[in-house]
Structure 1
């Protein structure tokens, strides 16, 4: 029967049932909201990785007293041994964070220009290279200038350069007598200047500029000292000599560029096929031609980088191969030349040079032990995190100078077996220690986005020289193994490197 009270009671009970059902749902929702709030609070309050540990140093001076007392190599090795693969040193007003080893170097070599840049830390090169090129221009312009160099280093060009190199080397060493004693360092400085001038600038430079250009290049290298990185215009004698040498080289090369352009005033391409002509003919993407100032600056930078690194590496190659402890490597290099002579006779060209695997490994090992630069520098435009092989994370702050110390990076014992020894076979079949350690284990020519465009040219030049020396002469070192000059940015053998030679009786060529 109809009972209004029962209906009312039922209706009053029904919301209660709904409320009881809603309780667990509400609890779940509240729990989720609270969990999310806690997670958000955790994320916002979670600490970033700590900055890298900093080496102890004197007030204001930082590690400067240690650098003077021990030298840069010892200071860096001590810091690495104490603090590991990521550490910071303070030098006067600047903090530099070092990244040692392939496991912490990916961002250094592969990072975008907007993240980690060369511009801010490479301004010290402008007095050497001159205005309008390299780090005196914006990144887009510099990238196009690197493209011009890349075009001049393509295999088709290298084939042409190889023939020029061989003729230049043959002509130079024909001046040596049946026997004698020479300063290998000085000889290779002159020879590499001749070779580079012939390949890069043509006969007009090679014919008349050897002594003066070589002298000025030596002043440029001596003027790029460690103090130059911090104070590029400091009024010291080395900088005065650098500026005077750069001005004179600018005059010499400007005359050469003007003369070359005058030889084809109608704008038609000159028949000369060298780097100078490539740079004159180059065009930016907007159609603009290179200016005389730009061409001169690019010539100076190319000759400076190529002349010093190749002559230094060539000298170290001789010092290493002729050391008594490395007799087996010298013998292997000579035997390779004999095998190649048996196959090709007197012919030495681009293709034949590619067959010289043993000699190539000998040079590569020299570059591992004696890289052309002590370290490479970058500027962190954004902070980034690095993780060591032990799993420790550090945050490198925005604005920090970042360095990859090649002198340590390429000698790590967990990458290279017995890393202080000269062992070219470590790169041979079955070992390949540089590949086993990862893509960034070997960085003598840089890596990633900033790998050196002149690597193939440099190897070819040194192999042409030492192929000839190994075929033509019996040699021995008569001075102690050279020390390294750590006072300059691009360290090389210190002092004279004396070599005694006797011309071989057999018919050889290169």
Structure 2
């Protein structure tokens, strides 16, 4: 009996202790929240942008922002104006909206803003050392100049045939995958287009030898490496989480694959020997930095990984959105097909003649489908910079301190009625050079006003600064994506081949466009995003 009483007393004491601990924890949390709220209500600094109200310190607005960035931005704009600060995982992040905000951040001077400190923790484990954001900006500009070898007009001209061939092979009825062996069916768009764009990007930008390496094992490595772009890796890039372990194994495997190709070629000698095509690897093997140093082989391998990832991501997302959008607009599909027939002509058997690079400029509706899709579904919704010295925001009393990050979001201006009437209406005809009565009210206002873009050379050729345009799907300034022209060629070629081969429709009962997945660095359709396809008899 005494033992039982002792046990009962011990349990009561333990229960009392746990209750005390829980009460202390709850009290501490409540006190922290209340102090955080009180600080926001009473300690506003008039020289800094207003801080978006939040209950929990450190977490701040992270969850609301992460679920739907655009909804968050527009709600904050309505309440706080074009310049405001929110807490993103403990970091004060100042957003500057509108074309002036884009210019302020994306065309900021190197002494004021820095991209490397923001993105290097995320990209370096994926791409590898000494390239892109893991090197001084001056070196990155040189690397961009080297890569432009594969983005010249002559290179782009050759890519159209290569990309067309990959699309034909991928969707052929006798293709090895058997995914499109019948005359009709359904498919989940995002993973299908992701696979296709890996093949088209590798074959065109990187050459036949690299494309042939893309067996199932290499494709799995690409997928594991891609998972390294998880947002958590902005803060914890080297923590041994499962996806990081897979990322590191994949990075080494892909780098070693490129190193093997380079080593083999160095043993073979001159690139002009035999019938080997002149590709990006050969180009980089013969490039030197301004100080006379040849590009080390390991850097070449890492640049090739970066080039492959960059050439695949935005195109994968955008091509998926194109198919999903076309499925809701059968009429646009027929307009596209008719445009090809009219412009390219037909063969004796009635099929449309092969698409060429020179045809691109003669297919305005194809270009406009790509352009309108990029407008609404900009692949990257947030572009971040580290503040290096206090920056005054013109037209405001605000000075952004060095403890803040800056965030530009060109996708907001692309979704603003001030620039694009009925902004969430997907209508390629809004870009018509001379819009008909049905579409004239949708025409982009900056085109009506004949806005002239400034240009600047950051060391890899003259490009538009993008300061005045509300349409910046590839960014602006020195970090503007140099693959913009390639992306248009790749997407327009894929589009041209798809409308010849298929008719797309929505799955019965699902007429609305799917939502957007913002959980990765790159926005993409929520999966599954299934559409119906029917093979055309002849096109």
User: Do these two structures clear the TM 0.5 threshold for a shared fold by scoring above it?
Assistant: yes
1:359 matched to 2:356? The reply is no
| Equivalent position SS for 1:398 | coil
Residue in structure 2 matched with residue 136 of structure 1 by the alignment: 134
Contact 2:271 2:282 (C-alpha < 8 Å) held by counterparts: no
| Equivalent position SS for 2:238 | coil
- Which string of whole-angstrom CA distances, capped at 9 and with x for unpartnered residues, describes residues 368-394 of structure 1? 11111121111222222224xxx5442
The CA distance in 1 between the partners of 2:133 and 2:273, in whole Å, is: 31
Residue number among 224, 228, 233 corresponding to 2:238 in the alignment: 233
Contact 1:413 1:419 (C-alpha < 8 Å) held by counterparts: yes
Say what the alpha-carbon RMSD is for the aligned residues: 2.6
Please give the residue correspondences for 1:111-510 in structure 2 after superposition, counting only pairs within 5 Å.
Answer: 111-124=108-121, 125-174=123-172, 175=175, 176-177=180-181, 178-264=183-269, 271-323=276-328, 326-342=329-345, 345-387=352-394, 391-430=395-434, 431-435=443-447, 439-478=468-507, 480=510, 481-506=513-538, 508=539
The CA distance in 1 between the partners of 2:489 and 2:102, in whole Å, is: 28
Deviation at residue 336 of structure 1 after TM alignment: 1.5
Contact 1:264 1:270 (C-alpha < 8 Å) held by counterparts: no
| Equivalent position SS for 2:537 | coil
**In 2 relative to 1, CA 443–273 (structure 1 residues): closer, same or farther, beyond 3 Å?**
same
**In 2 relative to 1, CA 273–403 (structure 1 residues): closer, same or farther, beyond 3 Å?**
same
* 5+ residue gaps, structure 2: 1-44, 435-442, 452-467
Deviation at residue 489 of structure 1 after TM alignment: 0.8
Deviation at residue 267 of structure 1 after TM alignment: 9.9
- Which string of whole-angstrom CA distances, capped at 9 and with x for unpartnered residues, describes residues 191-219 of structure 1? 21111111233222222424233322222
The CA distance in 1 between the partners of 2:135 and 2:233, in whole Å, is: 19
Q: How many residues align?
A: 455
Please give the residue correspondences for 1:56-135 in structure 2 after superposition, counting only pairs within 5 Å.
Answer: 56-64=53-61, 66-67=63-64, 70-124=67-121, 125-135=123-133
Deviation at residue 358 of structure 1 after TM alignment: 0.6
Contact 1:166 1:349 (C-alpha < 8 Å) held by counterparts: no
**In 2 relative to 1, CA 298–277 (structure 1 residues): closer, same or farther, beyond 3 Å?**
same
Deviation at residue 295 of structure 1 after TM alignment: 0.8
- Which string of whole-angstrom CA distances, capped at 9 and with x for unpartnered residues, describes residues 60-79 of structure 1? 32425643895444333322
Contact 1:361 1:424 (C-alpha < 8 Å) held by counterparts: yes
Structure number with bigger Rg:
1
Please, which moves more after superposition, 285-294 or 474-483? 474-483
- Which string of whole-angstrom CA distances, capped at 9 and with x for unpartnered residues, describes residues 221-256 of structure 1? 332122222332244333233222222212222222
Contact 1:378 1:402 (C-alpha < 8 Å) held by counterparts: yes
The CA distance in 1 between the partners of 2:238 and 2:78, in whole Å, is: 34
The CA distance in 2 between the partners of 1:82 and 1:269, in whole Å, is: 66
The CA distance in 1 between the partners of 2:282 and 2:534, in whole Å, is: 40
**In 2 relative to 1, CA 392–170 (structure 1 residues): closer, same or farther, beyond 3 Å?**
same
The CA distance in 2 between the partners of 1:352 and 1:206, in whole Å, is: 26
**In 2 relative to 1, CA 150–205 (structure 1 residues): closer, same or farther, beyond 3 Å?**
closer
Please, which moves more after superposition, 58-67 or 204-213? 58-67
Residue in structure 1 matched with residue 34 of structure 2 by the alignment: none
| Equivalent position SS for 2:393 | strand
| Equivalent position SS for 2:372 | helix
Contact 1:162 1:350 (C-alpha < 8 Å) held by counterparts: yes
The CA distance in 2 between the partners of 1:343 and 1:378, in whole Å, is: 51
**In 2 relative to 1, CA 357–343 (structure 1 residues): closer, same or farther, beyond 3 Å?**
farther
* 5+ residue gaps, structure 1: 1-47
